[in-house]
Amino acid sequence: MRLEFDIFRNPQPTCEKLKFKIYIDIFMMQISDRLSQSTPIKLDLPARVSSVKRTTGETDVTVSLNLDGVGNCKANTGIPFLDHMLHQISSHGLIDLDVHAVGDIEIDDHHTNEDVGITLGQALKQALGDRKGIVRFGHFLAPLDEALVQVTLDFSGRPHLSYGLEMPTQRVGTYDTQLVREFFVAVANNSLMTLHIRQLAGINSHHIIEAGFKAFARSLRMATEIDPRRVGEIPSSKGVL
């Protein structure tokens, strides 16, 4: 197909025609820029970072995070399996995460596990601010060998957890598998997130939990990313989240 424009034949382009040619040039430059980009478009927005310190009679927890990170993670909670799961959130959520906790794990992991969840939830809420421009909803279906777990979440402002993981063993290593639910209750309540976690398949407890955290991480990434079509707007018909 051959495109012919009057302006290219006319040796004396008028001002309007010249403007039109400039528009075409800019448009073509944008297309070639877009095609040559291997990374997503970076929007010039304020840093979405937070740092929360929470101290109680049972634990001392600090969480620092950057929602627009690259997956750098430092996790030192005194609960090795929880550290392993925090690395999943960071790596697959592309969130830079620094979690440090000192708790009464001489009793059991319950308080420390829950308080890490509370503090992480508060840090997410703080980093999201008024939630302007975010995609808001996120979902992912993550396999880990035989395990398959679906997470759907909404930064709705209304905390809710529907939890459907059924681990066949009481423990993974020294970690009590009941604590997974406690962790997600704490995150949902403190980040004001609606969170559904469903297990579609799974035999091994470690696989089921890890698939859940991976699905959560990817859902988190989707929901917290900035929607370039909605920058600066609260993604709600009510106008508030």
The footprint of Mn ion (CB under 5 A) covers 210
Distance of closest approach, residue 45 Cβ to Mn ion, in angstroms:
34
Cβ distance to Mn ion smaller for residue 115 or 210 = 210
Pairing state between β 160-164 and 96-103 = unpaired
Cβ distance to Mn ion smaller for residue 89 or 134 = 89
Which residue in 137, 132, 133, 142 sits closest to 152, CA to CA?
137
- Comparing every residue's Cβ against Mn ion, the nearest one is 210
* Contact between 161 and 184 (Cβ < 8 Å): yes
Cβ distance to Mn ion smaller for residue 80 or 129 = 80
Distance of closest approach, residue 88 Cβ to Mn ion, in angstroms:
8
Q: Which residues pair with 55 in a beta bridge?
A: 60
Distance of closest approach, residue 49 Cβ to Mn ion, in angstroms:
28
Distance of closest approach, residue 84 Cβ to Mn ion, in angstroms:
6
Cβ distance to Mn ion smaller for residue 111 or 206 = 206
**Could you count the other beta carbons within 10 Å of the beta carbon of residue 177?**
19
- Quick check: helix, strand or coil at residue 141? strand
* Contact between 28 and 36 (Cβ < 8 Å): no
